[in-house]
A and B are shown apart, each in its own frame.
Chain A
Amino acid sequence: MKIRSKRYAAGAVLALVASLGLAGCGSDDSSTAGDSGGGGGGGDATTVTFLPKALGNPYFDTSDAGGKKAVDEFGGTYAEVGPDTIGPDTQVSFIDTAAQQGVNALVVSGNDPQALCDSLNAARDAGTKVVTFDSDVDPTCRDLFINQATAEGIAKVEVDMIAEQIGDSGEVAILSAAANATNQNAWIKIMEQELADNHPDIKLVDTVYGDDDDQTSFDKTAALLSDHPNLKGIISPTTVGIAAAARYLSTSDAKGKVALTGLGTPNQMRDYVEDGTVTEFALWNPGDLGYLAAYAAKALVDGDITGAEGDKFTAGELGDFEVGADATVLLGEPYRFNKDNIADFDF
C-alpha cells in the first residue's frame, strides 16, 4: 500500500540513477573512444588499444606507458581501456567495443585463459590483431604472446633470492594473488619443484591468497606470521601482495627476522628497501614489456610477422626479437632490485 504510492517516485529515481550511471560510463570511455575512433577512420596510423587486467595497478600503468612510448615512436594511435576490478569476464565488454571500433591491434593481459576467447576470436575475425602480454590466454585465441620472462626464470630468481636471504635453510611461505591466477599458480608449481630439487633444507609450509587486495594481503601476512612462528621467509609473486606484506612486516616484531622477496615495483618497495624490511626483490621492466608488445602488434598489423616460429622483427631501442614456439616472444631475464640500484628506477 505504502509501496504503491511511492512507486512512481522510486521509478523516477531509478531512471535518474541509471541515466547518471550511463552518463558516467559514457564520459569515462569518451577520451579513449575518441582517440581510437579517429585513428581507425584515418587509415594511415596503426591504432593500438591496451587492455590491462584492471586499471589502478601501477604495474600496468608502467607497461602501458611503455606501449604508448612505442606507439608514439612509430606514429600510431594509442589508447588504454580497462575494468576497475579483476574478474574472469570484466574485460569482455572492452574487447567487444575495441572490435566494433575496428582498432588494428588489441594488446591484452588476460584475466582468464578461457573466458575471453569468444570475444577475442570475434575481434580477430573482424580484422583486429590480438597480442597478449603479462598473462596469456588460450593460444588459439590470440596471434602472439609477449612473455615477460619464462615461468622457470621467474620461479628460479625468487627461490634463489629467498635462499640467499635466509641462508638456504628454514621455513618459507608464499603469499600469492587470487587462488585462480594463471601466472602465480604456474610459478608456484615450479618454485615447489625447484625447492624440492635444489634446496632440500628449505621447507615450504604454506601458500595463502591475498586476492591482490591490500587488506586481504595484509591480514594474510599477519596470519602467516602467527601461524608459523619459525617462519624465515615469505615469497610474494605479486606486486600488490609484496607491498602489503612489506608494510605489515615493517611495523611488526618480525621486521628483519622474516625475509620478504618476490615480484615488486621499485616505487612501491622503495621505502621498505631503504628501511631494511626488504633486501632484494625482482621484476622485469614492465615498461619494456609494453614497449615490445606494441612493436610486435605493429609488426603483425604490417604483415612483417605472422606469429610463426622463427619470424623476426625489430622493437625500437630494445633490438631484434624472434618468435619462439607457440607464437611466443620472450622479453628476457628478470631484473633484481636492491638498495644499490633502486634509486635508478621510477615506476
Chain B
Amino acid sequence: MSTDLLVEPSRQSAGQRALTTFLRSRELSIAIVLVLIVIAATLKRHTFVFSHDGWRDTLLTPSILLLLAVGQMVVIVTRNVDLSVGSVLGITAYATGKIFIANPDTPVVLVFAAGLLIGAVLGAMNGFLVAFFRVPALVVTLGTMYAFRGYLTHQAGSKRIVAGDIPANFEKLGTQQLLTVPVLTLIGLAVLAVVGYYLHTARGGRELYAIGSDPDAAHLYGLNVGRRVFGAFVLSGALAGLAGVFSVARYATAFAGTGRDLELQAVAAVVIGGVAIFGGSGTVWGAAIGAFLLVTINRALPILGISDFWQGAVVGGLIIGAIVLDRVLSLRRAHQLIEARDVTEEEG
C-alpha cells in the first residue's frame, strides 16, 4: 500500500475516499458477519427470516438492546461507561406496569414520556457524580447499578406485573408492525438516526469524541467536559428508560429482576461494534449492528445446531476477537503513520 495517501488523503477524490472509508470500516465487517449468520440460519431453516414470525422477530428482538447500545456508545465514546442501564430499565419497566395498574386508560404517549423522564433523572444522578465530582464512571455506575436494583427490589418485593395488568392496546404495541417493520424497531431506528446524525455532524457530538480521545486536552482546549459527559449520561439513562417501556410492551411482565445483566450485553454490543472501550473512536452505527449481531447470534445458534451452553463462549470469543482486532489495526495504523512520516521527512 502506498503511504502517500496517509499523509495526503486529499489526492484522492471525495468519492474514492468515501468508498475507501466505507470498505475499511469496522461497521462493514461486523455487518458482513451479521448477514452471514442470518444467511446461514435461513439456509438451514427458511422460516428464520421468511415467515411472518421469523421476519418480525429478526427485527423486533434487538430493539431493546439497540436502545441500550446507542446510549452506552455515547457514554463509552467519552471514555466512561454506564453499568446501571439494566437496573434503570428494570425500574422504568416496573413503573410502567404500576402506571397502568393505577390508571389502565393512561395514553401510551404519556407512558413513553414517563419512561424517558424516569430514566433521564436516574441518568442525571450518574452524570452528576461522574462529571462534577470527577469520580470514575466504572465505580459510580457499578454503585448505582446495585443501588437502583436494591431500590427496585425494595419496591417490588415479590410482586410481579402480569399480562392482566397491561391494557390490550399497549400489549399490542409490542408486536405491532408498520409495513411489516415492528413499531418498536422503528422507534429504535429513529433514535439511532438522530443520535448518529448528532454525533457525526453536530459540534456537541464531535466534542464527545474529543473528550474521549484525551479528556485533559479537551479541557485545556476549553471544552466544557463536565457538561458534555453529564449530557451523555442523561441520554444513556433516558434511552434505558425507554427500553424499560419497550420491555413491558414486548414481554407483558416486569418484576424485581427485569433487565438484570443487560448492562453487560449493552457494553458487549458496543465493543463488538468497533467502539474503542477507552473512548474517542467508533460509531453509533457500529454499536447498533453489534446489538443486532449479539441478539441474532442467540437466536441463530440453536438453529445451526450449536447448543445453548456454547452460546456464551461464542459471544465471549466475539468480544475478545473485536478487541484484538482493534489493537492489531491501531498498531498497524500507527506503524504506517510513522513510516509515512519518515518517508515525507526524507523527501522534504
**In the complex, which residue of chain B has the Cβ closest to the Cβ of A6?**
B134
The interface centre, meaning the residue of B147, B153, B160, B164 with most chain A CB atoms within 10 A of its CB, is B160
- Cβ < 8 Å to B, chain A residues 22-48: 24-25, 27-28
- Is A298 interfacial (CB 8 A cutoff)? no
With A222-B57, A226-B45, A226-B48 already in contact, the answer to whether A13 and B140 are too (CB < 8 A) is yes
Binary interface profile of A, 103-125, with partner B (CB < 8 Å = 1, else 0)? 00000000000000000000000
A232 located at the interface, meaning its Cβ lies under 8 Å from any Cβ of chain B in the complex: no
Q: How far is the CA of A9 from the CA of B164 in the complex (A)?
A: 48
| Contact (Cβ within 8 A) A267 B135 | no
Q: Give complex CA distance A134, B252 in Å.
A: 26
Task: Write out the residue numbers on chain B whose beta carbons fall within 8 Å of the beta carbon of A272.
Answer: 163
B256 touching A223, Cβ below 8 Å: no
Q: Would you give the 0/1 interface string for B137-152, flagging 1 where the beta carbon is closer than 8 Å to chain A?
A: 0011011001101110
Most chain B beta carbons < 10 A, residue from A14, A56, A60, A244: A56
> In the complex, what residues of A have CB within 8 A of residue B260's CB?
85, 213
B37 to chain A, nearest CB (A): 14
> Contact at A215–B163, with CB atoms within 8 Å?
no
A204 to B141, CA, bound (A): 45
Q: Is A20 an interface residue (CB 8 A)?
A: yes
Q: Please give, as numbers and ranges, the residues of chain B lying within 8 Å of A14 by CB-CB distance.
A: 139
Which of B45, B143, B308 is close to A208, meaning CB atoms less than 8 Å apart?
B308
- A16 and chain B: residue at smallest CB distance: B143
* Interface assignment of A21: CB less than 8 Å from any CB of chain B: yes
Which listed segment binds B: A71-79, A163-171, A184-192, A245-253? A245-253
- Given known A223-B299, A225-B53, contact A243–B153 (CB-CB < 8 A): no
* Docked-complex contact B303 and A223, CB < 8 angstroms: yes
How many B residues have CB within 8 A of the partner chain? 51
Find out whether the CB atom of A223 lies under 8 angstroms from the CB atom of B302: yes
Asked if A139 CB lies within 8 Å of chain B CBs, one says: no
**Which residue on chain A has the smallest CB distance to residue B93?**
A214
Contact A24 B53, beta carbon cutoff 8 Å: no
CB of B213 within 8 A of chain A? no
Q: How many whole Å from B152's CB to the nearest CB in chain A?
A: 9
State the CA gap A223–B156 with chains docked (Å): 31
A58 within 8 A of B: yes
Contacting pair A21 B174 (CB below 8 A): no
Chain B contacts for A28, CB-based, 8 A: 150, 153-154
Contact, CB under 8 Å: A251 / B298: no
Bound-state Cα–Cα, A150 to B241, Å: 44
Q: Which residue of B lies closest to A217 (CB)?
A: B251
Contact of B162 among A58, A213, A215 (CB under 8 A): A58
B253 interface hit (Cβ, 8 Å) = yes
Task: Given the known inter-chain contacts A13-B133, A21-B147, A21-B150, please indicate yes or no for A227 contacting B158, CB distance below 8 A.
Answer: no
Chain A residue nearest in CB terms to B262: A215
Instruction: Name which residue of chain B comes closest to A225, CB basis.
Output: B53
Closest A residue by C-beta to B163: A271
A17, A82, A209, A251: the one contacting B175 at CB < 8 Å is A251
CB contacts (< 8 Å) of B12 on chain A: these are: none
Question: How long is the Cα–Cα vector from A237 to B151 in the complex, in angstroms?
Answer: 31
**Contacting pair B45 A13 (CB below 8 A):** no
Residues on the A chain within 8 Å of B162, using CB: 58, 243, 267-268, 270-271
Please report whether the interface of chain B is mostly helix, strand, loop or mixed according to DSSP: helix
Q: Is the interface of A mostly helix, strand, loop or mixed?
A: helix
Contact of B153 among A56, A57, A229, A268 (CB under 8 A): A56
Known: A55-B256, A58-B158. Contact between A21 and B143, CB under 8 A?
A: yes
Interface membership of A145, Cβ < 8 A = no
In Å, the complex CA distance between A14 and B143 comes to 8
Our count of residue pairs bridging A and B at CB distance below 8 angstroms stands at 137
Which residues does chain A contribute within 8 Å of B185, judged by CB atoms? Answer: none
Is A61 part of the contact surface with B, judged by Cβ < 8 Å? yes
With contacts A13-B133, A208-B308, A253-B52 taken as known, whether A56 is within 8 angstroms of B302 at the C-beta atoms is: no
Determine whether B47 belongs to the interface, using a CB cutoff of 8 Å to chain A: yes
The interface on chain A, measured as residues whose beta carbon lies within 8 A of the other chain's beta carbons, has a size of 52
Contact assessment for B163 and A20 in the assembled complex, using a CB-CB cutoff below 8 Å? no
Report the minimal beta-carbon distance from B111 to chain A, rounded to whole angstroms.
19
Does any Cβ of A come within 8 Å of B72's Cβ?
no
Chain B residues 216-249 with CB under 8 Å of chain A are 216
Q: Does B195 contact A (CB under 8 A)?
A: no
| Set of chain A residues within 8 Å of B163, measured between Cβ atoms | 243, 247, 268, 270-272
Asked whether any CB of chain B lies closer than 8 Å to the CB of A218, the reply is yes
B175 / chain A contacts, CB cutoff of 8 Å: 251
Contacts of A223 in B (CB 8 A): 299, 302-303
Structural contact, B299 and A222, CB atoms closer than 8 A: yes
Given contacts A58-B160, A214-B253, A244-B251, contact A227 B53 (CB under 8 A): no
Smallest distance from the beta carbon of B296 to chain A beta carbons, Å? 11
Q: How far is the CB of A241 from chain B (nearest CB, A)?
A: 12
List residues of chain B with CB under 8 Å of any chain A CB. Answer: 45, 47-48, 51-54, 57, 61, 129, 133-136, 139-140, 142-143, 146-147, 149-151, 153-154, 156-160, 162-164, 174-175, 216, 250-253, 255-258, 260, 298-299, 302-303, 308-309
Offer 24 A-B interface pairs, CB within 8 angstroms, sorted by A: A10-B139, A13-B129, A13-B140, A24-B146, A28-B154, A58-B159, A84-B153, A84-B256, A208-B308, A215-B251, A218-B250, A218-B251, A220-B302, A225-B53, A226-B54, A226-B303, A247-B253, A253-B52, A253-B53, A267-B162, A267-B164, A268-B160, A268-B162, A270-B164
A-B pairs, 6 with minimum CB distance: A17-B143, A56-B256, A61-B158, A251-B175, A271-B163, A13-B135
- Chain A contact residues, CB within 8 Å of chain B: 2, 6, 9-10, 13-14, 17, 20-21, 24-25, 27-28, 52, 54-58, 60-61, 64, 82, 84-85, 179, 208-209, 213-215, 218-220, 222-223, 225-227, 229, 243-244, 247, 251-254, 267-268, 270-272
Q: A220-B302, A267-B162 are in contact. List 10 more A-B contacts (CB 8 A).
A: A6-B136, A13-B139, A56-B158, A214-B251, A225-B53, A243-B162, A244-B251, A252-B53, A268-B253, A271-B162
